[in-house]
Structure 1
Amino acid sequence: MKTLPDVRALQAMMDTRKFDAIVCTSPENFTYLAGAFVTTIKTIRPRQAHMILTRDGRARVIVCSIEESLVREEGWCTEVRGYTEFADDPVDELADTLMELKLGHATLGLDLDYLPAASFARLQEGLPHARLLDASESVAAVRAIKSEQEIALLEKIAKQTHGAILRGLAESRVGDTDRTIANRIIKRMFDEGANGVQHLHLASGPRTPLVHNHPSDDATQSGEILRLDIGGTYGQYASDVARTCSTGEPLAHHREVYRTLIDIQRDTIGQMRPGVAAEDIYFACRDAFEKHGLPCSLPHIGHSFGIEAHERPMIRPGEKILLQPGMVINIEPMTRDQDGNLYHTEDLVVITADGCRLLTHGLAPLDIPVLGEPVRLPH
């Protein structure tokens, strides 16, 4: 599914910041503005891609010639300039293009949190009279408000991933290794549309406290906690869902801690609506943990989500950004029990005009699920 940037919002931002043009270079900002998903600009950093958008609406793309046909096929910009890898420096091509656009004396917004220092110095040399400022956060703020098309796509892939997790866990049995269970879920994700894995963390028993663990070849045993956090890639977008379950015969405190965590997540999501500061959602969640006597040591309990895994606003202390309709945010509280087991649940929501709406199939059940037992997929 192709998505288009909000060019008018970007132009309004340029008007506010007094930019004559912006240059999007980071994989996230380039992908958003160009509407083309070039995987190599993330995996091969010297193979830079730049997209220029002027305040009056002119657009140019500079990309490695290897990727030129892809950008012309997927993107919306008709002015695409290819450079030859190893023979041409992409920054020189960028400077030449900006000069051709009569922007040699302009105020330009750049992705300075991504552009290498050597590239920035070379651009300064090529445009000695231009004013080069950082626009990274300004472009990210535009990206934070998702279009209806983006929201529909993120909902579709969140539900695909959520469904794959539920089915994969239901098809697993005590005695299966963590790796076997993870592979079963991943296969389901690929069967349902994923074309890659963004992250894969699944652990049972004594390995659950390691937040970003990788599946091991250890066999699951009855009476343990199993925790997972999995995301697939679907073109330029991704999914991100976390769940916790029992491997059978859950202890009383397993049930209690799990149920409390789900209640806290439910209450936290219930407070999300336009006009609320992101940090207030964090504080409400933290206070709920304190009320129930459970530890909450996380620096954040959620994050905006889209082309980038952690977009702004982050649901953290100090994040003053007010929630707005169209923001898509993951809410993912975690806690530990008396034995050190880590519990985690994560769901995607979109802020609406009067509150918020879940984009997964539904929150986790209040009673801790048991590995191998079917869970009815909500609709």
Structure 2
Amino acid sequence: MQFTPNTEAIKALPAKEGLDAVIAMSPENFAYASGAYISTVRLIRPRHAYAVFPAKGEPFNIVCSIEESLTRSESWIPDVRTYTEFAEIPVEVLARELKKEGLGSGKLGIDLDYLPVSAYEALTAALPDAEFVNTTETVTGVRVIKGESEIALIEAATRQTHKAVLDAMEASNQGDSEADMAQKIANNIINYGADGTLFMAFASGERTKHPHTTAQSDVLPRPGDIIRFDVGGTYGAFASDFARTYSAGRPSEEQKDVYAKLIRIQRETIAAVKPGVLAEDLFFLCKDLYAKHGLPFTMPHIGHSFGVELHENPMLRPGDKTPLMAGMVINIEPMVKHATGTYHTEDLVLVTETGYRLLTLGLAPEELPVIGQTINY
């Protein structure tokens, strides 16, 4: 899935920040700034990719030679330069190309939150007269407001993942293992349009207290068990992020009550989304709603933005005073740990000029769903 980055904002960063160039090189910043998604730079950390934006002159990419054709096919930047893996050190090639452009002694911004110390030392040794500043957040700041193509891609990914979950859980039955159910979800995510699965946190019963555990083939959820999962697919440079809670059958009245309260809390929190509301305001509202409904609150955050990175700013946490703005996407995901199980629900919304628009197929049902159940939207 292709998207169009905010190229003008990216190209304007060096002048805006008083720099001679900005170098986007974390996997997420490179993918966004260049428009080219190179999966191996996430999986093979020494394989760097750089998108260089000089204050004067045209931008250029530097990538491993085996990724040249992909970069040329996807990036909006026509100038693609390469290095040979193992034969050349990526940061030394970066230094060489910066010198060619007259930037060897400039003030340069780079993703110091990502660049390994060893690579930074090699880079400063190759460019002793340059000054390096951290522009990780400078580039990620451009990503906060999503463009139309990003929103369309994120919405499609989110809805496909939601449908994958609905169909998989409807097809699940008593006697299925956790792994059986998780496999149904994963198969559907791919069959419905994803490149693959990004993560699959899945647990039942006592194991739901572990937020990011994986499904087990020898664990068969029993009637009365809570089933909780948080899943995501990969869609080019982007992903989906979606959570739901089910019952394995015959839920108790207490389980139904805890679940219903959590769903009401999420719905009331989402209803407060609109431009001007601070990110931390939603956190404290949600926390107050837990107290109102008599549920324990232990969460360090209750949601986050996301895009080419799973967690992006703003984060719905104490201290994040970012005002919500139209074009932001926000995942709102309250969770509660209870004696009867851990419950979790997560939905993505787009902040609009007047409020919000839901990007999932619909909010979780108010009554605790059971495996095998059909849920219509």
Q: CA deviation at 1:55?
A: 2.8
1:57 Cα deviation (Å)?
A: 5.7
One-letter amino acid of the counterpart of residue 54, structure 1 = P
Number of residue-to-residue matches in the alignment: 376
For residue 373 of structure 2, what is the amino acid of its counterpart?
E
CA contact (8 A) 1:303 1:311 kept: yes
Query: Does 1:213 pair with 2:213?
Result: yes
Q: Partners of 2:367 and 2:350 in 1: how far apart?
A: 25
- Kindly provide the CA deviation profile for residues 134-177 of structure 1, in whole angstroms up to 9, marking residues without a partner as x: 00011111111111100001000100000010111011112211
Moved more, 125-134 or 312-321: 125-134
| CA deviation map 1:185-211 (0-9, x unaligned) | 111111101111111011111211111
For the Cα contact (< 8 Å) 1:174–1:247, is it kept in 2?
yes
Deviations 1:90-139 (A, max 9, x none): 11111111112221232211000000111112221222222210000111
What's the counterpart of residue 88 of structure 2? 88
Q: Is the 8 A contact 1:11 1:57 kept in 2?
A: no
CA-to-aligned-CA distance 1:235-288 (integer Å, 9 cap, x gap): 111111100011111111111110110111011111111111111110110111
**Counterpart for residue 313 of structure 2:** 312
Q: What residue in structure 2 maps to residue 337 of structure 1?
A: 338
SS at structure 1 position matched to 2:108: strand
How many angstroms apart in 2 are the aligned matches of 1:298 and 1:56? 46
Q: CA deviation at 1:327?
A: 1.0
Query: Do the aligned residues in 2 keep the contact of 1:253 with 1:337 (CA within 8 Å)?
Result: no
Q: Any idea what SS the aligned residue of 2:212 has?
A: coil
Matches within 5 A, 1:43-62: 43-56=43-56, 58-62=58-62
Indicate conservation of the 8 Å contact 1:331/1:347, yes or no.
yes
What residue in structure 1 maps to residue 266 of structure 2?
A: 265
The amino acid across from 2:362 in the alignment is: G
RMSD between aligned residues: 1.2
- For 1:172-251, list aligned pairs within 5 A: 172-217=172-217, 218-251=219-252
| Alpha-carbon separation, structure 2, partners of 1:188 and 1:7 | 34
Identity of aligned residues (%): 47
> What are the superposed Cα offsets for residues 315-360 of structure 1, whole Å, 9 maximum, x if unpaired?
1111111111111111100002233x10000011111111111100
How far is 1:16 from its partner?
3.1
SS in 1 for 2:331: strand
Aligned 1:132-211 pairs, distance under 5 A: 132-211=132-211
Residues 280-331 of structure 1, C-alpha deviations (whole Å, 9 max, x = no match)? 1101101110111101111111011111001111111111111111111111
Measured in 2, the distance between the counterparts of 1:317 and 1:195 equals 35
C-alpha distance in 1 between matches for 2:260 and 2:311: 27
Distance 1:298 1:111 in 2: 29
Once residues 111 and 277 of structure 1 are traced to their aligned partners in structure 2, the CA distance between those partners, rounded to angstroms, is 27
Structure 2: which 5+ runs fail to align? none
| 8 Å Cα contact 1:173/1:371 also seen in 2 | yes
What corresponds to 2:3 in structure 1?
3
3-state SS, counterpart of residue 174 of structure 1: coil
Give how far 1:12 is off. 4.1
Q: What is the distance in 2 between the residues matched to 1:275 and 1:12? A: 26
Instruction: Tell me, yes or no, if structure 1 residue 322 matches structure 2 residue 326.
Output: no
The TM-score with structure 1 as length reference comes to 0.97
